[in-house]
């Protein structure tokens, strides 16, 4: 199913599918749209530590018997940190506790796996082992909108009942056509994903060599440089822009104040020279703003 907006897909589906007899368990770093979806739902909800499938396992052992349905909400690639879940371990946990798995692939489709098909492609896992695969068509696919994929039966049901689908104007034809072409490019030109991976690895290696704090990012094109305060992140982003580099600051409350950062998104079209220059410029900017490390 394709929705006019990725945010609205997450924000509406949880409230629609899960009610007061159900439980939503979401990763502590899950995107705001999933958290808002959980908040809007009558279901019970709680978060588990980021990527911690062992804590999830323990929570399910305690809580599963109290609920009709339990859904576990995670991301394919985490949008702020550029890390990813151990998907096979999450699938194992969800299967043992008869829970549903909802994966937001906003940042993993078009970037992860040998063919860019997302986090299942990366782990070589059959998507039928999960339940709901959500994504946006506003990132790697370069258009605008969101989608949900799942079993025929579930999608058929959702297509007739999900308020954000039934009562909202559909994704526009230009967006749908652009998304379709984006998917065709990914299928036809898998070398783009290979180049993206190489360029992301290059950026990460250079950044680490330059002593920049890239947090847990790895294997993905989302690479943060943590600078430690929102004020410093804003200043760093301005200085980067003055030097021809567009990288946005991520501030509190999107992340902890002490984890404020500049977030770099790599694409297959960034050249090696651009990456070398971007990392060197970022290192200069970090040095120039050192006195702002703890500034609010
Ligand atoms: C993980 C994640 N999910 C959902 C969304 C919302 O998607 P959209 O921008 O297409 O509304 C975003 C970001 O924009 C995101 O990063």
For residue 136, how far is its CA from the centre of ligand 1 (angstroms)? Answer: 6
Confidence of residue 291 (pLDDT cuts 50, 70, 90): confident
For ligand 1, residues with CB inside 6 Å are: 5-7, 10, 31, 33, 75, 79, 104, 106-107, 136, 138, 146
Q: Say yes or no to pLDDT of 231 above 80.
A: yes
Kind of pairing, strands 44-48 and 23-27?
Answer: parallel
- pLDDT for 115 equals 95
Ligand 1 atom at minimal distance to the Cα of residue 10: 4
CATH code for the domain defined by 191-292: 3.90.1150.10
Output the average pLDDT for the chain.
Answer: 96
pLDDT tens per residue, range 128-151: 999 999 999 999 999 999 999 999
CA distance 263 to 225: 6
Going by alpha carbons, the residue nearest to atom 10 of ligand 1 is 6
Whole-number pLDDT of residue 170 = 92
User: Ligand 1 atom 9: the closest Cα is on which residue?
Assistant: 6
Ligand 1 centroid from CA 106, angstroms: 6
| Residue 296 reports pLDDT greater than 70 | no
| pLDDT reported for residue 160 | 95
Q: Which CATH class is domain 2-187?
A: alpha beta
What are 45's strand-pairing partners?
24
Query: What is the per-residue pLDDT across 189-224, written as a single tens digit (0 to 9) for each?
Result: 999 999 999 999 999 999 999 999 999 999 999 999
101 backbone dihedrals φ, ψ, rounded to 5°:
-115, 125
132 CA → ligand 1 middle, Å: 16
Residue 295 pLDDT class (50, 70, 90 cuts): low
Chain centroid to CA 215: 16
Q: What is the pLDDT of residues 29-41, one digit of tens each?
A: 999 999 999 999 9
Q: Domain residue spans in the chain?
A: 2-187, 191-292
pLDDT mean over 229-236: 96
CA 73 to chain centre: 11
- As a whole number, mean pLDDT of residues 17-44 equals 97
Cα–Cα–Cα angle for 99, 83, 207, rounded to 5 degrees: 175
User: pLDDT band for position 157 (50/70/90)?
Assistant: very high
Between 10 and 293, residue with greater pLDDT = 10
Q: How far is the CA of 167 from the centre of ligand 1 (A)?
A: 20
**Residue of 2, 8, 13, 31 to test ligand 1 pocket, by largest number of atoms within 8 Å of CB:** 31
If you take atom 3 of ligand 1, which residue's CA is the nearest one? 106
Instruction: Kindly state the tokens that stand for 113.
Output: 């796996």
Ligand 1 centroid–CA 263 distance in Å is: 15
């Amino acid at each position: 199913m394709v929705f006019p907006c990725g945010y609205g897909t997450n924000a509406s589906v949880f409230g629609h599918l899960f009610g007061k007899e159900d439980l939503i368990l979401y990763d502590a770093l899950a995107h705001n749209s999933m958290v808002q979806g959980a908040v809007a739902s009558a279901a019970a909800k709680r978060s588990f530590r980021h990527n911690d499938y062992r804590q999830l396992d323990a929570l399910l052992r305690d809580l599963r018997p109290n609920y009709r349905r339990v859904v576990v909400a995670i991301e394919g690639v985490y949008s702020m940190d550029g890390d990813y879940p151990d998907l096979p371990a999450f699938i194992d946990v969800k299967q043992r506790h008869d829970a549903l798995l909802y994966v937001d692939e906003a940042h993993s489709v078009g970037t992860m796996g040998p063919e860019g098909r997302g986090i299942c492609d990366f782990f070589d896992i059959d998507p039928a082992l999960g339940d709901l695969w959500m994504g946006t068509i506003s990132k790697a696919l370069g258009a605008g909108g969101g989608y949900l994929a799942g079993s025929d039966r579930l999608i058929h049901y959702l297509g007739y009942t999900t308020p954000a689908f039934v009562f909202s104007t559909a994704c526009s034809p230009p967006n749908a056509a652009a998304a379709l072409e984006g998917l065709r490019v990914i299928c036809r030109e898998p070398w783009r994903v290979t180049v993206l991976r190489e360029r992301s690895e290059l950026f990460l290696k250079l950044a680490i060599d330059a002593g920049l704090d890239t947090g847990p990012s790895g294997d993905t094109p989302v690479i943060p440089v943590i600078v430690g305060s929102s004020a410093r992140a804003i200043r760093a982003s301005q200085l980067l822009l003055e030097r021809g580099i567009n990288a946005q600051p991520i501030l509190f409350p999107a992340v902890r104040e002490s984890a404020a950062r500049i977030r770099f998104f790599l694409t297959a079209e960034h050249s090696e020279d651009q990456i070398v220059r971007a990392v060197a410029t970022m290192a200069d900017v970090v040095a120039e703003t050192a006195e702002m490390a703890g500034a609010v």
